[in-house]
Amino acid sequence: MSRKDKMESLDPATLHAFADGELEPEEAARIVMHLADCPADQQAVQQIMAMNALLARTCEAPLHEPVPPAIRAAIFGPPVAVSPPGTRKWARWAVGTGALAAALALAVVVLPRADGPALALGPVEPRSPMSEALDQLASGQSRLVARKTELGIVASFAVEGGYCREFALRHDTGPDQAALACSAPDGWHVAARQGAQVSAPASGYVPAGGDNDDPIGAQLDARGAGLALTPLQEAQARGAGWR
């Protein structure tokens, strides 16, 4: 081992800038040469890098967590209590599941032809604008999926057997709504929505029991969602058709 401890140390600011990747390539190369001959500075640089790694690790937890409901509500507005107009699927369930359901559905929802897309829980109509938006958009992107209604993707998650995408519907009139769609063999299914009053598995119509504070988070947990996908992972999942 060469001993050149007497080699003059560089000023600390330069070493910090080197460790942080702030230097131009030529300057950085010069420092690399210097470090080979100066164990003291080499150790200093290693210590700075180790501290960067330690601090990054210390604070990394939020990157692996979904957006907390309170913050989501601050951004998109409080959860809505009543489904936005245009939930055609509710009408279909009502017809199919008897008088009580019909009375409930009709009491809650007026059913003109929708301006907005149906944000009922359950399957999203294949090849509909909403289905295509869920297929195609990256997180952070949004597009109109119906007159005066925009769908924006919040995040995507790998779950058991496929993927889920958290999204928000913004209506020109009325509050925004956050929801979660998950992939299934026959396309996207809306699996949860913020402030949902009913949960409807594919098989039928079930009035909600208690109001869950965070139905989206609960649904993600139930499906074993991992971390939100990075843009690269998301692009790969999109390329593979969300299978």
Partner 1 sequence: MRPEFANELVRLVPRLRRFALGLCGNGADADDLVQAACERALANAGTFAQGSRMDSWMYRIIQNLWLDSRRRLRVRGTVVDPADAGLHDGGLAARGAEDRMQLSRVFGEMDRLPEGQRAVLTLIAVEGLSYREVAEVLDIPIGTVTSRLVRAREALAVGLAPKGGLQ
Residues near partner 1, by CB under 8 A: 12-13, 16-17, 20, 22, 46-48, 50-52, 54-56, 58-65, 67-68, 70-72, 74-76, 139-142, 150, 152-155, 168, 170, 176, 228
Taking the C-alpha atoms of residue 74 and residue 34, their distance in angstroms, rounded to an integer, is: 51
Give the chain's radius of gyration (CA, Å).
26
Taking the C-alpha atoms of residue 131 and residue 154, their distance in angstroms, rounded to an integer, is: 15
What is the closest distance, in whole angstroms, from the C-beta atom of residue 199 to partner 1 in the complex?
24
Taking the C-alpha atoms of residue 233 and residue 71, their distance in angstroms, rounded to an integer, is: 25
Pick the closer one to partner 1 by CB: 25 or 62: 62
The angle formed by the CA atoms of residues 55, 58 and 63, to the nearest 5 degrees, is: 110
Taking the C-alpha atoms of residue 134 and residue 132, their distance in angstroms, rounded to an integer, is: 5
What is the closest distance, in whole angstroms, from the C-beta atom of residue 216 to partner 1 in the complex?
12
What is the closest distance, in whole angstroms, from the C-beta atom of residue 186 to partner 1 in the complex?
28
What is the closest distance, in whole angstroms, from the C-beta atom of residue 168 to partner 1 in the complex?
7
The answer to whether 138 and 212 have CB atoms below 8 angstroms apart is no
Pick the closer one to partner 1 by CB: 142 or 233: 142
What is the closest distance, in whole angstroms, from the C-beta atom of residue 155 to partner 1 in the complex?
7
Pick the closer one to partner 1 by CB: 59 or 99: 59
Pick the closer one to partner 1 by CB: 52 or 136: 52
The answer to whether 111 and 88 have CB atoms below 8 angstroms apart is yes
- In this structure, the number of other CB atoms found within 10 A of the CB of residue 239 comes to 8
Pick the closer one to partner 1 by CB: 166 or 199: 166
